[in-house]
Amino acid sequence: MRPIETAATVRYTREEGLAEALRGADALFVYDFLSTAVPAAWHAADRLRWLHIASAGVDPVLFPELRASDVVLTNSRGVFDHSIAEYVLGVVLAFAKDFARSLDLQREGSWLHRETERVTGKRALVLGTGPIGQAIAGLLRAAGLRVAGVGRRAREDDPAFGTVYASDDLIERLPDADYVIAVAPLTEQTKGIFDARAFAAMKPSARFVNVGRGELVVTDDLIGALRDGELAGAALDVFDTEPLPANSPLWTMKNVLISPHMSGDFVGWRNTLVEVFADNFHRWRAGAELRNVVDKQLGYVPSPVR
């Protein structure tokens, strides 16, 4: 693939220089996908036509001025699907086979025989039916779980999930699930969707997995549910405050698995993100259709209607 520098003037900048770099720029590549600097520098975007972010989530750049503008927004959908699905399968197996306890006992030099759970026949409910959710469904089903999805539109013939329930029916479907996996994009509709009411609807033996956005969860409600036995465990890769504060009770809960926002990060992922942008850049220069165009009102790339 031809280097971008041969086809355009490229300015590299940190957050503090973003406004200056934006003046006169036609395109913006937000490589630091956790940065919140774009809204403050937006006043300098005097000729911007396209913004690409190096992540699947677009909430850091989806502010009102961008929504109202003619600037096309694209993301890096497709890069992390399979690695996040592998993470989810891994934590499901870790819970079922009690790996954390085995490691503790190994460090203690203690031989303690236990029985563990089978995952075959267990039910998983996945909130988020885009490509990442579809990849999760595929791996969980291959491991023997029965999987259903929760998405914007209910349907019975989804190729990945079979049955997809409407998001308005989430509370009604939670009591059936042994594993609840959150991978939905952050929108006004999904923010705080896992609250005290949602956790109370889950069966006490259920485990909750969040690989979507931290703000999908009301953290205090999750802590309360775990502490009060309303929930058997949680695997959390994302949090509403990152890094997770040192005084968070989640750190010391024996039924919680914590990872630092890394479920999708495989060896070479940074280069892959640049390759996705470069491919879109050459499409943009040629006037071709861009990949991963975000619907700025929905907050994500719409999946084709099946």
Q: By CB neighbour count within 10 A (0-12 exposed, 13-18 middle, 19+ buried), where does 157 fall?
A: exposed
Instruction: In whole angstroms, give the CA distance from residue 303 to residue 301.
Output: 6
Which residues carry out catalysis? 213, 242, 261
